[in-house]
Structure 1
């Protein structure tokens, strides 16, 4: 009897000092973004050669000669083989669709093309390299991108800023709605964080080196947070 009375008293005492627990009434989902700007230290440029000729062999030979000159120029500039890649080698007929005696289009020549993508790590030399490639016969420039060679530390900083942005937004919305923000239910990263390279279109060739300006590269990250909403 004594033990039962003591147990009841203990339970009553425990209930008397226990806090009032808040109840979950819903969820709040918020998104956040973070970005970091950095001065690029790497340029990626795509140059190529295209040639038209009456025969397939002539078109391919002309394209190969220009491509060989591009590769030799890049080697002379000190660019390593790991930073040079050829791609998109193609050979296509050139059709004449003008009406003929039998109303059939006919092949009047061939067009060959090849592309070289190169990473330039010495940005001070970039303008001179582009100018030399154009002088060597490159007649295609697919675009110029400025980026960073080691983006991961910067992307991590962008992730931290994205989480802080989402948390601040959740607190603002909860306060405006007059509710209490509870625990974090889930956190997910949205999209694939990556550098957002600055782009440059077809460059201008002049007697001097091709003028370029790298500016800054933006690195972005996004997150989605889900919180409990509590009511006391």
Structure 2
């Protein structure tokens, strides 16, 4: 047993010594950033509606009527069923201290994906007519997001390579193959947000207006790259 332990100890000592004697590969580590700005072509709109009354069944029925009108309108507008869904439903009892009585309030919200931004005003006005009375947010998207993310990643690698070349060229050296690549990117994409009130939108004089500021989305990619030096 003692001989086996001694053999293992000698083996690891020789391995450690060999590793220490192994020449270190000259290398340089840099970070690279890739940015791609795009104009969104889609939007996810979150809308809602609510009804208040003395009876729980009554306010629920009122909400159900609005849901039925909204879904029929979306279908008639050519919006696929897969592009809209209910995101929140609530029914609760509240007390009115001024009138000293209880009320019931039913509310519901839906998320609708608009793949044609030109239909925004038409869809919003139709939803208002169906009983929707609030917009809680608009999130802009791109149908080619994966393609743009690939472009951003490529730009990040090229940026890292250029940085490494800038540093080592002063020393009369060149960069070799990449030894390690680490993706430091996060999935968050900064974008403009829009909030508004459906009733305010309904008070239109019928004139043609630009009511949606789309802006730009910016995709950011960050990588760390270690290059060997030649």
Counterpart among 110, 124, 127 of residue 133 in structure 1:
127
Establish whether residue 80 from structure 1 lines up as the match of residue 80 from structure 2.
Answer: yes
> What's the C-alpha RMSD, in Å, of the aligned pairs?
3.1
Structure 1 unaligned residues grouped into runs of 5+: 1-21, 99-105
Partners of 1:142 and 1:114 lie apart in 2 by: 12
TM-score (norm 1): 0.72
Q: Is 1:123–2:138 an aligned residue pair?
A: no
Instruction: Please list every run of 5 or more consecutive structure 2 residues that lacks an aligned counterpart in the other structure.
Output: 1-22
Deviation at 1:143, TM superposition (A): 0.8
1:45 shift after superposition: 0.5
CA contact (8 A) 1:87 1:116 kept: yes
Inter-partner Cα distance in structure 2 for 1:192 and 1:67: 37
Q: Hey, which of these two has a bigger chunk of strand by percent?
A: 1
**C-alpha displacement of 1:60:** 1.6
TM-score, normalised relative to structure 2: 0.73
In 2, the alpha carbon distance for the partners of 1:210 and 1:60 equals 36
Instruction: Name the structure with the higher helix share.
Output: 2
What is residue 43 of structure 2 aligned with on the other side? Answer: 43
Matched length: 201
Report the equivalent of 1:212. 212
- Higher-Rg structure is 1
Instruction: Provide Cα deviations, 1:152-174, integer angstroms capped at 9, x if missing partner.
Output: 11111111011112222333445
Rounded Cα–Cα distance in structure 2 between residues aligned with 1:212 and 1:182: 49
- SS where residue 40 of structure 1 aligns? coil
1:30 corresponds in structure 2 to 30
In the aligned structure 2, how far is the partner of 1:47 from the partner of 1:114? 9
Runs of 4+ in 1 over 3 A off after TM superposition: 22-25, 170-183, 191-198, 227-230
